[in-house]
Amino acid sequence: MIKLKNLELRLPSGFVLRIDSLEIGEGEMFAIIGPNGAGKTTLLNVLGLLQETGAGALEIAGRNALVPSDRTALRRSMSYLFSRPCLVNDTVYNNIILPLKFRGEKDDGRAAGMLETFRITGLRDCNANQLSQGERHRVSLARAFVTRPRLVLLDEPFSSLDARGKEAIIADLGRLTRAAGTTVVLVTQDREEALSLADVLGVMKGGRLLQRGGPQELFSRPASAEVADFMGVETVLSGEVSAKSDNLCSVSVAGGALEVVSACEAGEKVLVCVRPEAVSVSKAAGAGSMRNQFKGRITAAEPWRLEYRLSIDCGFSLLAAVTRRSLDELGLKPGDEVYASFKATAAHLIRR
């Protein structure tokens, strides 16, 4: 659906967006994630034909998107939602059929279908400016999908919603796009939002696409420290592969040695990435299959969302995530001696 090559865009602010290659398949849900200032919205504006590109080639639905005369026709095959729903001062119904009016098309029942899909049938005749934030977002989505676009671009569309509202809309959106086979490109800073919607993720930082892949790949095999950092890999240790047997690497880190399944070779300098969720904590040494087991002391226990983050000093710093229930059952608190374990397959090496 989208093929972007050799994009180089310099903005007056000095920011440079540089994408060597990006392909998004038909029907794919692609989430672009990254910190503020990464260039996510700028990239989306390029795909939405709102931003002139400098150098590069862009093909959308098999057509050259850089030909100015084709721009309106291409824009009419896609929809783009900004983070703030820009609704006109009119009824919900008239907002939803606005794209049809622009195309000179009549409403053949599509608007009613969208009202139902996004559960806003009861708001049909209400003025859009009198709706709540969540309702405005639903109207905006209904308006974006009424033309049955092949491509939908979403720029942090749920950023102003509360958790519950977000969850409900994401579920409705996911059902609709999967049923219709719509290609979706979503920009978000929220990893969980990306995970719940996307088939493929792309991590951006500093105007570059650092890594593209499935959610599992990005979480468990980040290609660089920057990607690891953004994906929430919180234990990152510098080390060196001291030995390798089959695909099992022994890695020396300050204060210890780890075993990690990896393609790295002996002598390579690496970063060892371990997700907090992959670390098990117990009061007694375990006899399980985990190759990595370290005795350490809890230095801090901090609540984080629905869990607790334990900082454990094993000679090196290791972060573990435990549920509140586990914390209470084990009676874990700072100062306690514990055993922290993780599998060789749960850690990941990044070459330095």
Give least dist CB 153 to another protein, A.
8
CB contact at 8 A, 154 and 185: yes
3-state secondary structure of 87: coil
Q: Closer CB to another protein, residue 55 or residue 73?
A: 73
Q: Closer CB to another protein, residue 76 or residue 333?
A: 76
88 forms part of the interface with another protein (CB under 8 A): yes
Judging by beta carbons within 10 Å of its beta carbon (0-12, 13-18, 19+), is residue 324 exposed, middle or buried?
Answer: exposed
Which of 11, 57, 67, 86 is close enough to bind another protein by CB under 8 A? 86
Cα angle 116-122-127, degrees, rounded to a multiple of 5: 115
Which of 34, 39, 99, 222 is close enough to bind another protein by CB under 8 A? 99
93 forms part of the interface with another protein (CB under 8 A): no
Stretch binding another protein (CB under 8 A), from 58-66, 68-76, 198-206, 318-326: 68-76
Which of 25, 64, 102, 300 is close enough to bind another protein by CB under 8 A? 102
For residue 291, give the DSSP letter.
S
Q: Closer CB to another protein, residue 103 or residue 295?
A: 103
63 forms part of the interface with another protein (CB under 8 A): no
Which of 32, 60, 144, 200 is close enough to bind another protein by CB under 8 A? 144
- Give the dihedral of Cα atoms 207, 208, 212, 218; nearest 10 deg: -80
Q: What does DSSP say about strands 307-313 and 292-304: parallel, antiparallel, or unpaired?
A: antiparallel
Give least dist CB 120 to another protein, A.
18
CB contact at 8 A, 194 and 172: no
Site size for another protein (CB under 8 A):
23
254 forms part of the interface with another protein (CB under 8 A): no
Sketch the per residue contact string, 302 through 341, with another protein: x for CB under 8 A, - otherwise.
----------------------------------------
3-state secondary structure of 322: strand
Which of 30, 80, 93, 118 is close enough to bind another protein by CB under 8 A? 80
- Residue 50 in tokens: 């709102």
d(CA 217, CA 202): 11
Stretch binding another protein (CB under 8 A), from 55-63, 69-77, 199-207, 304-312: 69-77
Stretch binding another protein (CB under 8 A), from 56-64, 84-92, 199-207, 227-235: 84-92
133 forms part of the interface with another protein (CB under 8 A): no
11 forms part of the interface with another protein (CB under 8 A): no
10 forms part of the interface with another protein (CB under 8 A): no
Residue owning tokens 């953004």? 230
Stretch binding another protein (CB under 8 A), from 29-37, 94-102, 242-250, 262-270: 94-102
Residue type at position 146: V
CB-based contacts of 246, cutoff 8 Å, min separation 6: none
- Residue 169 in tokens: 């809309």
CB contact at 8 A, 281 and 336: no
Beta bridge partners of 261: 248
72 forms part of the interface with another protein (CB under 8 A): yes
Distance from chain centroid for Cα 298: 31
Which of 127, 189, 224, 326 is close enough to bind another protein by CB under 8 A? 127
d(CA 291, CA 269): 21
Closest CA to 230 of 205, 193, 208: 205
Residue type at position 111: A
Which of 82, 189, 277, 343 is close enough to bind another protein by CB under 8 A? 82
Given the rule CB under 8 A, which residues bind another protein?
A: 48, 50, 72, 75-76, 78-80, 82, 84, 86, 88-89, 98-99, 102-103, 127, 129, 143-144, 147, 153
